[in-house]
Structure 1
Amino acid sequence: MSAVFTCPGQGAQRPGMLQKLPAHPAAQAVAASAEAVLGQALTTLDSDNALGHSRNVQLSLLISSVAWGRYLLSEGCKPRFVLGLSIGAFPAAVLAESLTFEDALQLVALRGDLMQNAFPSSFGMMAVTGLDRYQVQALLERNGSGESYLANINADNQCVLSGSWAGLDALKPSIAKAGGHCQALSVTVPSHCPLLDEQALVLKSALDKVAMQAPRIGYVSASKARLLRDKDAIRDDLAMNMARQVHWLDASRLLAERGVSAAIELPPSGTLTGLFRRVLPQGHCVGADSTRLDSLQLLCSG
C-alpha cells in the first residue's frame, strides 16, 4: 500500500500539543534537540498565550510533525511521499532528509517572526465553504478591496481567503448571498498572498546559506502541486510558499494519480485527513495519533 505523510499548517495548533508527543526515544530526541537549539522549554511554545504569536505556532507544528514522523519512521512506517501545508512543508522536508531539523528550527523561528512583525494585527485568513474556486475568485474580482486574496484551494468547495479583516469582513455578505459560508481561522497573518512577498525574499536569503540534500522520500509541493526532486527547487518552495497560493486539492489529486491509497496526518491531525477523504474516498485517511501503530505499519507496507 502506498502512503503519504501529511503535515498540517497554521490553524491546526492546540494548546499543550507538545506535551503529547510519543513516549518513544525517536520523538523524545526531537524534543530534546528542539529545546537545545532554541534555548527554551517546549512548554514556553505551546501554551494558550504563547500560541498567540506566529513564531511559537510554527515552531510547535514543526516539532510535533517531526517528532511523530521520526517515531513512525523508526517503527518501520516509511511513506512513499510527504506533503505539508504551508509551514508543514518544513517538517516534510526534514522527514524527507532534504533539510536538517536543526536548520529547520532556526528557519521556522525566523519565518514566524517575519510574518508576525509584518502584520501584528488586523490581518488574517478566512475559510469559505460551499463555493468553488471560480465562484470565489469572481466574488473577489467584483467585491474585493485590494487587500483580499484567494490563498488556498483546499477542495472542490473549500477555499481560504487572506488579507485585512476589513476587506475579508466586507466580502461576507456577497459570499453568503452566493450560498457560501465563512469561518475565521486561527491564523493572525495574511499567508499565501503577495502581501508576504518581501518577507519571503528575506527567508530565501537565509535558506540560500543552508546546506540541503536531494530528498530520500518523495517531496510534494502544495504550492506547485508537483513532485520536487531537486534540492534547490525544494529550497525555493520552502522560502516562497508563505507568499504563494496553496493548491492542496491539486497536490492531493497528483498523489492519488500516483497510486497513493493511504494518507496519514501527523498531529495535530484532523483537517488534512478530512480533505484527503474527498480525494481518496476508497482509501485510508487517518490521523497518526488516533490509529494503532500496527495499522499504520500496514498502511505503509506497500
Structure 2
Amino acid sequence: MSTMWVYPGQGAQKVNMLHDLPEHPLVRHYLERASVALQRDVLTLDQPEALASTEAVQLCLYLAGYISSAILLDAAVQPDYVAGLSIGAWTAAAVAGVYSFEDGLKLVSLRGQLMQKAYPFGYGMTAIMNTDKSQVITWVTEVYQKVGKVYIANLNAANQIVISGSEQAMAQVVEIAKNQGAIAKKLNVSVPSHCELLDEQAQQLVQAMENIALHPAKFKYLSGTSARLVHATEQIKQDLIFNMCRTIDWESTVQVAWERGVRLQIEGLPGSVLTGLARKVFKEGSVLSFQTTRRDSLIVAMRQQAIIAD
C-alpha cells in the first residue's frame, strides 16, 4: 500500500493563507528564503488586493503547499507519490526535489506573470456540474463553432468538468448547460488555463527553464495532465511547462494512483478541494488534508501506512 501527497491549483487560494500557516520553525525559514529570492516581502502576497494577481495567487499556492510538506518531511515521513493540479504540479516537483525551492519559486513567479499579462481581463474558468463529459463537450463544441475561445480545461470528476476561455463564450455554454439541468460555478481564476490560448506563454517557459538545474525525482511523480507516471527529469520538465495549455485529467490521475496501490492521500495546504474529489475514488483507505486534519494525525496516518506497506 502506498501514499500520495497532492497539491491544489488556482481557486484554492484564500486571504491570509500565508499568515495562517501553522506554528513551526520551518514556516519562517521558508518565508524568509522566499522573500530574499523574490526580493519582496512574500507576506504581502496573500492580501485581498494582491490576490487579484495571478502571479501572487500562484506564488501563495506554491509556498503553502511546499511549506506544509516540509513540515511533514521534518517529522521523518515521506510519500511514495506526488501529484498536483495545474500550478500544484510545480509544487509537487519541488517537493520531490526536481529543482530547488528558490528555482521553483522564480519559475512560478514567471509563469503567473506570463499568464496574467496575456489575459488581464475578460477571461477565466467555470465548473459545470451535475452532467457528464460528453454533454459538456457537445455544448462547448456548439459555442466554439459560433464564437470560438471556449475549451474543455479540467476533467476533475465524472460529474465536474471545467471549461476555460472568454467570459462571453463561457456565458453561452453556461446558458445551454443550465437549460439542460446542469449547475455552473464561476471559478476564482482570472485566466483561461489549460487550453490553446496559453500555447505562446508555455513556449516562453521553455527558454526560462533551459538553465535551471534539474534532478531525478525523489518520489514518484504522477502527471495531472496525462495521468501517467513520469520518470525522466526531461519529461517532468515538459509536463510542467505545458500543463498551462493542456487539459487536466485529475479524475484519471486519482484513479491511476488508486490502481497503483495508493491508500492514503494527503492534500497539502491550502484547502481540501482535492480531498473531496478523491473520496469518490478511494472506496478504501484514507483521504486527508493538511487544512482540516491535525498535524499529529497526519503523521500517525503516514507511519501506519508505512507499516502496512512493509
Please tell me the residue identity of whatever aligns with 2:241: A
SS in 1 for 2:22: coil
Deviation at 1:43, TM superposition (A): 2.3
Alignment of 1:263-282 (within 5 A): 263-282=265-284
Q: Please tell me whether residue 183 in structure 1 is matched to residue 185 in structure 2.
A: yes
Give matches, 1:97-246, under 5 Å. 97-144=97-144, 145-246=147-248
Q: Secondary structure at the match of 1:289?
A: coil
Which amino acid is the alignment partner of residue 265 of structure 2?
A: A
| Distance in 1 (alpha carbons) for counterparts of 2:87 and 2:242 | 11
Check if 1:295 corresponds to 2:297.
yes
Letter in 1 for 2:29: A
Does the 8 Å contact 1:197/1:243 carry over to 2? yes
5+ long unaligned stretches in structure 2:
none
Rounded to whole Å, the distance in 1 between the matches of 2:130 and 2:241 is: 32
Higher mean displacement: 208-217 or 120-129: 208-217
Q: After superposition, give the CA deviation of every residue in 1:54-80 in whole Å (9 maximum; x if it has no partner).
A: 000000000110110001111122111
8 A Cα contact 1:253 1:279, kept in partner: yes
| Structure 1, gaps ≥5 residues long | none
For the residue of structure 2 that corresponds to 1:15, the secondary structure is coil
In 2: Cα distance, 1:8 partner to 1:213 partner: 23
- The whole-number CA distance in structure 2 between the counterparts of 1:297 and 1:270 is 17
Aligned sequence identity (%) = 39
- Once the two structures are superposed, residues 21-63 of structure 1 have per-residue CA deviations (whole angstroms, 9 ceiling, x without a partner) of 2222223221111011011112221101100000000000001
Residue range with higher mean Cα deviation, 233-242 or 290-299? 290-299
TM-score for the superposition, normalised by structure 1: 0.97
1:210 partner amino acid: I
Could you tell me how far apart the structure 2 residues matched to 1:27 and 1:232 are?
Answer: 31
Query: Quick check: 1:3 aligned with 2:9?
Result: no
Matches within 5 A, 1:15-30: 15-30=15-30
SS of equivalent to 2:271: coil
1:67-103 residue CA offsets vs partner (Å, 9 max, x unmatched): 1000111112211111111001111001101111110
Calculate the aligned-residue CA RMSD, in Å: 1.1
For 2:291 and 2:234, locate their aligned partners in 1 and report how far apart those are by CA, in whole Å: 33
One-letter amino acid matched to 1:275? L
Q: Whole-Å Cα distance in 1 between the matches of residues 300 and 132 of structure 2?
A: 35
Q: Which moved more, 1:260-269 or 1:160-169?
A: 260-269
One-letter amino acid of the structure 2 residue matched with residue 26 of structure 1: L
Partner Cα distance (2:296, 2:272) in 1: 20
Runs of 4+ in 1 over 6 A off after TM superposition: none
How far apart are 1:143 and its partner, in Å? Answer: 2.9
Residue in structure 1 matched with residue 14 of structure 2 by the alignment: 14
Deviation by residue 1:113-165 (Cα, 9 ceiling, x = unmatched): 00000000000000000111111101112233311000000001001000000
Equivalent residue number for residue 75 of structure 1:
75
The answer to whether the 8 A contact 1:2-1:299 is kept is: no
- 1:22/1:28 contact within 8 Å kept: no
Code of the aligned partner of 1:196: L
CA contact (8 A) 2:143 2:169 kept: no
Say whether the 8 Å CA contact 2:272–2:292 is kept in structure 1.
no
Could you tell me how far apart the structure 2 residues matched to 1:171 and 1:290 are?
Answer: 34
Give a deviation string over 1:182-202, Cα, whole Å, max 9, x none.
Answer: 100000000000000000000
Letter in 2 for 1:199: Q
TM-superposed CA distance for 1:207, in Å, is: 1.2
Distance in 2 separating the partners of 1:203 and 1:175: 35
Q: Which residue of 1 aligns with 2:63?
A: 63
Q: Please state whether the residue corresponding to 1:262 is helix, strand or coil.
A: strand
CA distance in 1, matches of 2:210, 2:182: 42
Residue 299 of structure 1, CA deviation: 2.4
Contact 1:276 1:285 in 2 (8 A): yes
| Corresponding position of 1:283 | 285
The answer (yes or no) to whether the contact 1:28–1:67 under 8 Å persists in 2 is no
The residue type equivalent to 1:225 in the other structure is A
Moved more, 29-38 or 154-163: 29-38
